[in-house]
Amino acid sequence: MNEKIESRKPPVATTGIIGWLRINLFFNWTNSLITIFVIYCLYQFVPWILDWTVFSADFKYNYLGQQITNQEMCSRNLDPENGGACWAVIYVRFYQFIYGFYPREEVWRVNISYVMLAIALLPLLITKLPYRKIFLNFTYVFPIIAYFLLNGGFGLPDISTNKWGGLLVTLVLGCTGIALAFPIGVLLALGRRSKLPVISMMCVLFIEFIRGVPLITLLFFGMVMLPLFLPEGIDMDGLVRVLVAVTLFQSAYMAEVIRGGLQAIPTGQYEAARSLGMSYWRMNFQIILPQAIRISIPPIVNTSIGLFKDTTLVIIVGLLDLLGIGRGTLADTNWLGLSYEIYFFVSLVFFIFTFGMSRYSLYLEKKLKTGINMGAD
Amino acid sequence: MSEDSIISLKNVNKWFGDFHVLQDVNLEVKKKERIVVCGPSGSGKSTMIRCINRLEEHQEGSIVVDGIELTGNLKNIDNVRKEVGMVFQQFNLFPHLSVKENITLAPIWVKKMPKAEAEELAMRQLEIVKIPEQANKYPGQLSGGQQQRVAIARSLAMNPNIMLFDEPTSALDPEMIKEVLDVMVDLANGGMTMIVVTHEMGFAKTVADRMVFMDEGKIVEEANPDKFFNNPESDRTKLFLSQILHQ
């Protein structure tokens, strides 16, 4: 009985490429049938989409070699048998898609803001970044710098927000909404669980009211009603009014998501913190919230993605975000009928951002699962 | 309240809804005294010690800890909690912080101790509970016995005058109970005032100055261990001891 039994290698056919194929794609006959069907669909679809988007597509010139300036010059309109997508519309209108109607001579301000946004996100994305603390400080002051840079001040000419548009508006709404809604949501969630009845009731009322109303209603509310509440003579910027509505909306959802996380924290954590003499805020910021927010990362990212896409609704109150610029372009007689290209492009841009967010959430979750690096920050 | 008494419970009553969980509880604890509280489950022993640091609120009677009466006054509650350390059945370590951070958190934020000093303190406490090598691990990587010892170190780091133990070994595997009890014996020998809710009668016999037996929200019997185990007065105590000692 003392003989040592060597561990044996698994049977050959379960390892390697063949083994993988057999287990995952051809395990039994239904499995194989589905695999063959999917391969057939891909065979039909992939070459066609590649051909349409890349190989037969116009980028700047049509198949005659002319530079495209309107839809009539697109290859697919000149020769319906041959042409693919006509990306020239994106090329020609690229400036509007990215900056809206921001004056060309001032556009460097937007570009710097985009670059700064990327730098501000770095310490959030990469936890092992060298000098992360300094970068984080930059992240905190970035919104103030970006506000003055984009809006004007300190010697920079004012650019009214009705000239902003495209990706600029989408990012301003999305980033500000998410960034402001998070702390407000945390406070609302704590407030709703507060033992003080006045505070908890106010938070419940706020959350339930905002959640019970569609975002579009809130946008109209921001546009039409908000000025009525302001003292006379103070004119609130249109973008700011929309931002208020978007932030309120998002903070109510964020509050409920974080409340879910809070409810998952065992009472023992509260008792341990209190028995050590920690105050209410200390306990929440050091012990409870770091754990609750970790638990809620997937739904937090989920509602954030939702908000980022919902910013397209601002079109109904007259702001031209990325989709708004796209629709504006479609209404231009020069580019009539190019809806495939424009919606494809707008979808792609949204997809890049939301997919990035979803990968980020997966990365965070994975980091937590390994459980080792759980330092609070 | 007598001269050297550090904890004094007078006619303490508490209800959970209609359930009268503490009924006229009176208890005086002297400085450096070691009290072991036992009794069947649901007898109110945990509730009683949780009232001493106001994790539970009593509704009638008075509780005075180190000269501070526990009322709705938040300042008093904070002051009492600084005096009283507590160890829980479920350890209640903070899972998102390393062992060292678990211990330094309260000294840094409650006592405003500089970080370096707090870390030194944490290492000293970990030496006392005999696991200094685990300082940089996370609670989830430790065994139950090690976690409970970290929890003891975390309480001790606040330099309390009184330690409350709420069934500290009940959630542990049998082979880990001894390592925790050893630490508690060391602590008792060091002169700490302790109230321990436990069913570890061996521990009670070695360290207790006084045994307190509770049943149905009342203190049924208080005696020194020798009398308590060999010659208990009440029939309820006799029944309890016969069940717990001859299983």
One-letter-per-residue 3-state SS of chain B: CCCCEEEEEEEEEEEECCEEEEEEEEEEEECCCEEEEECCCCCCHHHHHHHHCCCCCCCEEEEEECCEECCCCHHHHHHHHHHEEEECCCCCCCCCCCHHHHHHHHHHHCCCCCHHHHHHHHHHHHHHCCCHHHCCCCHHHCCHHHHHHHHHHHHHCCCCCEEEEECCCCCCCHHHHHHHHHHHHHHHHCCCEEEEECCCHHHHHHHCCEEEEEECCEEEEEECHHHHHHCCCCHHHHHHHHHHHCC
Among A271, A279, A376, beta carbon nearest to B55 = A271
Nearest chain B CA: its distance from A190 CA (Å): 19
Please give the share of chain B, as a percent, with pLDDT higher than 70.
Answer: 98
Report which of B222, B225, B171 is spatially closest to residue B25, judged by C-alpha positions. B222
Amino acid at A327: R
Query: How far does Cα B213 stand from its chain's mean position?
Result: 16
- Would an 8 Å CB–CB cutoff place B203 in contact with chain A? no
Please report the pLDDT score of residue A13 as a whole number.
66
What residues of A are in contact with residue B107 (Cβ under 8 Å)? none
Task: State the pLDDT confidence band at B153, using cuts at 50, 70 and 90.
Answer: very high
pLDDT digits (tens, 9 = 90+) for A143-175: 888 888 888 878 788 888 888 888 999 999 999
Beta carbons of A344 and A351 less than 8 angstroms apart: no
Per mean pLDDT, which of A86-95, A179-188, B1-10 is the most reliable? A179-188
Task: State the pLDDT confidence band at B102, using cuts at 50, 70 and 90.
Answer: very high
Cβ within 8 Å of residue A15, ≥6 positions away: A9
Return d(Cα B102, Cα A276) in angstroms, integer.
Answer: 11
- A234 versus A372: which is more confidently predicted? A234
Return d(Cα A371, Cα B116) in angstroms, integer.
Answer: 25
Amino acid at A371: G
Return d(Cα B33, Cα B45) in angstroms, integer.
Answer: 18
Asked if B110's CB is within 8 angstroms of A276's CB, the reply is yes
pLDDT for residue A268 is more than 90? yes
Question: Mean pLDDT over residues B182-201, rounded?
Answer: 92
Residue B104: both structure tokens together: 């330094």
pLDDT digits (tens, 9 = 90+) for A198-224: 999 999 999 999 999 999 999 888 888
Return d(Cα A369, Cα A106) in angstroms, integer.
Answer: 46
Question: Mean pLDDT over residues A102-111, rounded?
Answer: 87
Q: Which of A10-24, A343-357, B141-155, B164-178 shows the lowest mean pLDDT across its residues?
A: A10-24
φ and ψ at residue A164, rounded to 5 degrees: -75, 155
Beta carbons of B150 and B134 less than 8 angstroms apart: yes
Among A268, A287, A291, beta carbon nearest to B88 = A268
Q: Which of A78-82, A214-218, B68-72, B90-94 shows the lowest mean pLDDT across its residues?
A: A78-82
Please report the pLDDT score of residue B3 as a whole number.
61
Report which of B92, B66, B90, B91 is spatially closest to residue B80, judged by C-alpha positions. B66
Question: Mean pLDDT over residues A270-278, rounded?
Answer: 93
Task: State the pLDDT confidence band at A1, using cuts at 50, 70 and 90.
Answer: low
Distances, alpha carbon B11 to alpha carbons A345, B62, B64, in Å? 76, 7, 12
pLDDT for residue A296 is more than 70? yes
- Would an 8 Å CB–CB cutoff place A291 in contact with chain B? yes
Task: State the pLDDT confidence band at B105, using cuts at 50, 70 and 90.
Answer: very high
Please report the pLDDT score of residue A121 as a whole number.
87
Nearest chain A CA: its distance from B135 CA (Å): 13
Task: State the pLDDT confidence band at A376, using cuts at 50, 70 and 90.
Answer: very low
pLDDT for residue B52 is more than 90? yes
DSSP code of residue A157 = P
Return d(Cα B215, Cα B220) in angstroms, integer.
Answer: 6
Please report the pLDDT score of residue B247 as a whole number.
53
Q: Predicted ipTM?
A: 0.92
Q: Which domains are assigned to chain A?
A: 12-55 (no CATH), 160-368 (1.10.3720.10)
- B175 versus A127: which is more confidently predicted? B175
Partner A, chain B 14-33, Cβ-Cβ below 8 Å: none
Question: Mean pLDDT over residues A181-201, rounded?
Answer: 94
Q: Please tell me the pTM assigned to this model.
A: 0.84
- B74 versus B90: which is more confidently predicted? B90
pLDDT digits (tens, 9 = 90+) for B106-150: 999 999 999 999 999 999 999 999 999 999 999 989 999 999 999
What is the rounded end-to-end Cα distance, in angstroms, of chain B? 40
Beta carbons of A178 and A257 less than 8 angstroms apart: no
Shortest CA distance from A295: residue in chain B:
B96
pLDDT digits (tens, 9 = 90+) for B218-231: 999 999 999 999 99
What residues of B are in contact with residue A374 (Cβ under 8 Å)? 95-97, 138
Task: State the pLDDT confidence band at B244, using cuts at 50, 70 and 90.
Answer: confident
Nearest chain B CA: its distance from A121 CA (Å): 24
Strands (DSSP E) contained in A221-342 are none
Please give the share of chain A, as a percent, with pLDDT higher than 70.
Answer: 95
- Would an 8 Å CB–CB cutoff place B78 in contact with chain A? yes
Nearest chain A CA: its distance from B140 CA (Å): 8
pLDDT for residue A277 is more than 80? yes
Task: State the pLDDT confidence band at A375, using cuts at 50, 70 and 90.
Answer: very low
Q: Is the dihedral of CA B58, B19, B36, B1 positive or negative?
A: positive
Please give the share of chain A, as a percent, with pLDDT higher than 90.
Answer: 36
Please report the pLDDT score of residue B175 as a whole number.
87
